[in-house]
Amino acid sequence: MRIWIKSLLVITACIFSLTLLNTKYTFYSPTVKLESAKVVYKLDNEPFNVRLDVPLVNQMDAPTLFNGCEVTSLAMLLQFTGKYVTKNELANNLPTTPIEQNGLHGNPDKAFVGSISGDSPGLGVNHAPIAKLAAKYVNEAHVHDISGNSIQDIITVLSTGAPVWIITTTDYHAPKNWQTVQTKEGKKKITYSMHSVVIYWI
């Protein structure tokens, strides 16, 4: 299923080192204005590189969302496409689930797990719920999930003038703290090092 955000509203979930593992991307594709893309420098094997003017949203600005990197990045993505929405509005419209309930761990593929504000522990949310949330603000046809594709696909999307929402890790390295938890839907591999950002230049 292809769903994600940016100017090709692109959303992806990936774990970063110098390579991307378990890559999941999403992008939004309304009308893309390439004039907004600036050529920074050229690589031998790429037609051009871009730096996009993506608005900065600080997740620590009041009201703080200590664990809200996913909705903060989504707010940046949506604002880039001209849809002004705050991180807190997105947080209020994102499904949530407890970290643990009745002996089962919350599933980040279904909802935000734990506290997004940071008042209590929180894990995060994966790309599918974020893609669904994005589709409430832009036409679903413009939200593309390219999860599982290559880094080259991200570069291709960026080169069209569309930023990409991704899931990475807090230190941008492949995590060493994976754990397997039992959710209502079955076993799920998670890491509490997950983080979300917007890729806006190459």
pLDDT at 49: 67
Its pTM surpasses 0.85: no
Q: Within 10 Å of residue 167's Cβ, how many Cβ atoms? A: 28
pLDDT for residue 28 is more than 90: no
Q: Which domains does the chain possess?
A: 9-199 (3.90.70.10)
| Percent of the chain at pLDDT exceeding 90 | 56
Cβ(116)–Cβ(89) below 8 Å: no
Residues 188 and 181: beta-carbon distance below 8 Å: yes
* Residue in the block written with tokens 């600036």: 38
- Indicate the Cα dihedral angle 110, 111, 113, 116, nearest 10°: 160
Query: Which amino acid is it at 153?
Result: D
Give the tens place of pLDDT for each residue, 140-152: 888 888 888 888 8
With cut-offs at 50, 70 and 90, classify the pLDDT of residue 12: low
Report d(CA 52, CA 163) in Å as an integer. 7
* Averaged pLDDT, 42-46: 45
Mean pLDDT of 25-42: 38
* One-letter amino acid for residue 86 of the chain: T
